[in-house]
Amino acid sequence: MHWTRKTLILLLIIITGSLLFLQYKFKSEIINTIENKLPPNIQLNYDKIDVNVFSGVVKMDSLTIKLFSTNDTIITTLNANNFKITGFSLWQLLMKNTIYIEDVIFENPDLEYYQYQQAKELNSNKEFDKIININKISFLNGSLKIKNETKDRLLLRMDSIYFTMNDLNTDSDKIKGKIPFDYHGFQLKSQQLFLNLSTYEELKISSLSVKNDKFELKDVHLKTKFTKEKLSAKISLERDHIQLHIPELTLNGLDYGFNNNKFYLTIDRSLMVKPSLKLYRDKTIADDLNIKSMYSKKLRELPFDLSLHHLKITEGYISYAENVDTIDEAGELFFNDVNADLTNLTNRSNKGGNTAISTTSNFMGKAPMDLSIRFDVGNKNDVFLTSGQFKNFNAEIANTFFESNLNAKAEGIIEEVYFTFNGNNLKSKGDLKMKYKEFKFEILDKKNRVNKLLSAIGNLFVNDGSKTDQDGYRYGEIDVERDKTKSFFNYLWINVQDGLVSTLTGKGEKNKK
């Protein structure tokens, strides 16, 4: 009995000592790995570390991780108040060569990244030979900043980031891919996102939420950084002053990844609620004579594959103002109650048919207007078909714009206009029919007074709407050559303009084909 008790005590001492040694060895190995076995371009520091081999917990306080570039300057810094690993399985590591972790948690992480630098290449030729499985990884109340190479310009900022990713796993094959791991679901929430788009424009988002394949944005603002006057003082070629506000934008059925090393983005459905777009152009600035691509070409030349099946826009607002004389107030055109559907917006193989855009709106708040555009992204001649109509257009409602930009005033009522034209990146043809009455122009002098002589001469060439067919319509033809230095919307406008002029000044008879 005496020897049995001694044996049990001795066995207990051996077991306890072994466990204490295992705890010491485990902690020492982690510290040794941090201090001596990390790649030479990674530096990891902490104030305190706690390790428990039995519960599989590793804790670090005031964690700092730095990634260095080839010239030993910092390209990435991660600071976290607390870092915690739970559920680490020593058994899985020893028996199955698998690093298994239940949870990885970063508390208050702040990540800074400096763009355009290259991380130092590792000299080790040792292959990654382990399997990594992490049940859940979390970033709690973090922030992200991306700066340019010289660290003097902020490119992106995200605050109040809460991010979780589930079932992350990788191995020797997956780690070589464009996305070096697999996962099954993630969630992201953030406040106050800022993106520096260019020297002149910036993007701000009040709230961002992503859950698996659903993406929600609140209060999106894309705007010019400067006032209209300051922008004009900074540019040598004309550039739009932009104010875009989208109170709510949702993307559903989001899928992305790499296919044959090319990034792809697929969106099933998207909804844009009450967007407001205000554009202003100072026409006293020199024209930008660079060639403007058609939208179909811009889609074709995207550096990634895009497929948006359906985008719906509700209750939108669009305005456009031009200043053609620094002493005059800019004339403005606007469309309210803009509703639109865009389908099959893609640069992939067009199996779903042509890209189609259909819109309804009220021109100047009064004249109902419909517009439809269809094009085939794959057609390198940029062939398109456009049709539309507007009704109850009182010419006087647009006189604010006409007076500032055309030095003219209009009188009369256009009851109905219908137009259809098709074209490519060089020219277009079509027809227009219009029902109107008592329509005439008044030409203004420099003091905005009516020039009666010029007005009388101009109206000699304008039919007042009295000579029509039995249904009250006059007809015109559209035949336009595109100015490649102008936008696609300018192309649309000069087609309608050509048809209006043909209807007002021509014979007004329907073309018999």
475-513 pLDDT tens trace: 999 999 999 999 998 899 899 888 888 887 777 777 765
Residue with the larger pLDDT of the pair 261 and 411: 261
Average pLDDT for 97-126 = 76
**Least confident window among 132-146, 193-207, 325-339:** 325-339
Strands (E), 404-444: 408-423, 427-443
Per-residue pLDDT, 294:
94
- pLDDT at residue 295 greater than cutoff 80: yes
Give the pLDDT confidence score for residue 310 in this predicted structure: 97
Taking the domains of the chain in order of start, what are their residue ranges? 27-196, 198-287+301-345+355-376, 383-513
Contacts of residue 93, defined as CB under 8 A and 6 or more positions apart, other chains included, come to 99, 100
Task: Categorise residue 393: left if φ over 0, alpha if ψ from -120 to 50, beta otherwise.
Answer: beta
pLDDT at 200 over 80: yes
Which of the residue ranges 189-193, 262-266, 389-393, 438-442 would you say has the lowest mean pLDDT? 438-442
Spatial separation of the C-alpha atoms in residues 451 and 432, rounded to whole Å: 30
Per-residue pLDDT tens over the stretch 245-267: 999 999 999 998 888 888 999 99
463 vs 107, higher pLDDT: 107
Residue 140 has pLDDT above 90, yes or no: yes
Supply the mean pLDDT for the chain: 84
CA 277 to chain centroid: 15
Reported as half-sphere exposure (CB side, CA atoms, 13 A), residue 414 has a value of: 25
Average confidence (pLDDT) over 260-284 = 94
| Highest averaged pLDDT of the listed ranges 69-73, 82-86, 149-153, 363-367 | 82-86
User: Does residue 77 surpass a pLDDT of 90?
Assistant: yes
Residue 455 has pLDDT above 70, yes or no: no
Confidence band of 73 (pLDDT split at 50, 70, 90): confident
What is the pLDDT averaged over residues 14-40? 66
Residue 23 has a pLDDT of 61
Indicate if the alpha-carbon torsion angle 166, 171, 176, 177 is positive or negative.
Answer: negative
DSSP 3-state of 261: coil
> Which residue is listed with tokens 């104010």?
243
**CA–CA distance, 15 with 107 (Å, rounded to integer):** 36
Here the contacts of 295-298 (C-beta below 8 Å, separation 24 or greater) are: 295/375, 295/488, 296/355, 296/375, 296/376, 296/377, 296/379, 296/382, 296/384, 297/380, 297/382, 297/425
Q: 200 in the Ramachandran plot: left (φ > 0), alpha (ψ -120 to 50) or beta?
A: alpha
The β-bridge partners of 359 are 340, 371
Mean pLDDT of 24-41: 69
Closest to 220 in 3D by CA, of 242, 204, 243: 204
- What is the Cα–Cα distance from 198 to 251, expressed in whole angstroms? 25
- Residue 188 reports pLDDT greater than 90: yes
The DSSP element (H or E) to which 249 belongs, if any, is strand 241-252
Q: Which residues, other chains included, contact 271 with Cβ-Cβ below 8 Å and sequence gap of 6+?
A: 248, 249, 250, 311, 312, 314
Cα–Cα distance measured from residue 365 to residue 335, given in angstroms and rounded to the nearest whole number = 6
Q: Report d(CA 169, CA 180) in Å as an integer.
A: 9
Task: Kindly report the pTM of this predicted structure.
Answer: 0.85
User: Is residue 401's pLDDT more than 80?
Assistant: no
CB-CB contact of 350 with 376 (8 Å): yes
368 or 25: which carries more pLDDT confidence?
Answer: 368
The answer to whether 137 and 150 have CB atoms below 8 angstroms apart is no
Residue with tokens 């004009």: 232
Q: What is the pLDDT, as a whole number, of residue 290?
A: 94
Q: Is pLDDT larger for residue 80 or for residue 123?
A: 80
Assign 20 a pLDDT band (cuts: 50, 70, 90): low
Alpha-helix runs per DSSP H in 284-339:
295-300
pLDDT of residue 441: 62
Mean pLDDT across 409-422: 85
